[in-house]
Amino acid sequence: MALELVLITGMSGSGKSVALRALEDAGYFCVDNLPPELLLSFVDLQHQETRRRVAIAMDVRSGTSLPQVPAQLRELMERGVAVRPLFLDATTDTLVRRFSETRRRHPLSKSISETGADLHRALVEAIELEREELAELREHAHVIDTSVLRASQLQDYVKALLSAPHAQLTLVFESFAFKRGIPVDADYIFDVRMLPNPHYEPELRDLTGRDAPVAEYLAASEQVQDMYADIASFLDHWLEPLAQNHRSYVTVAIGCTGGQHRSVYLVEKLAEEFGGQWTTLKRHRELGKT
């Protein structure tokens, strides 16, 4: 059995410690803030210790050595290590709020005056600088948007992702509400707000797209079925080329106004459709359930 290495990177304040704890609970040997210079020798040591599941967190504190990481990951994959990179992200507004609530200093923040305006501006500048420095790592990883996730949801997401087979493309369908923001982890976003809305039917308002009455209501709509057929046709055409391009994960986000009915119904239906061909996961961001 090949060694499995999960590399967790991402924005400061995005939840990397929470994700690492989830992996530790799942039986991974975990190391936080490993310097990139030690990555290859660390993996060699794990081979000697006969460990098979290892998780490492790295962040911007590693500074100038971070650009080494993509080449190191390619070398490890050539050695037969099953590398699974995860990148945790969140909107700038969310990160600013988290740092403000905890009174933590951002690792890239500089010494500044104590006026509120200067503190806010400096924090935003530090976050944007961090995005630039981590851009290449983000490009080669599966991104998880933690902007509106509770710690328990993030833990569930990480465990679900890593339970999927590594050797093939994993298709993630995610429902969301536009009123709470677009997921930054989505590869494709489909807006279904123009479809008939069960929210305006009193007997359906408190149900979700997982409930039979809502599903029956939406299934009876020609518009809904046309939208479903168009999304399915797009994915049928492009998933195979994506898999051939060595993509490990593809996230398809379906958004409606409240994230309760239309988007949930379509995610459930699409996941059922494509589950026979691809490893498929479901997320319902606003329902708080996977």
Residue ranges at the known binding site for GTP: 59-62
Q: Which helix (H) or strand (E) holds 233?
A: helix 222-244
In order of 186, 247, 263, the CA distances from 238 in angstroms are 15, 12, 21
Q: At what angle do helices 212-219 and 262-274 cross, to 10 degrees?
A: 80
The three-class DSSP label of residue 137 is helix
End-to-end CA distance of the chain: 29
d(CA 148, CA 206): 21
- Binding site, by residue number, is 10-17, 59-62
Written as one string, the DSSP assignment of 58-95 is --GGGGGGGGGHHHHHHHHHHTT-EEEEEEEE--HHHH
- Residues 236 and 273 sit within 8 Å (Cβ to Cβ): no
Question: Which residues are known binding-site members for ATP?
Answer: 10-17
Backbone dihedral region for residue 33 (phi beyond 0: left; psi -120 to 50: alpha; all else: beta): left
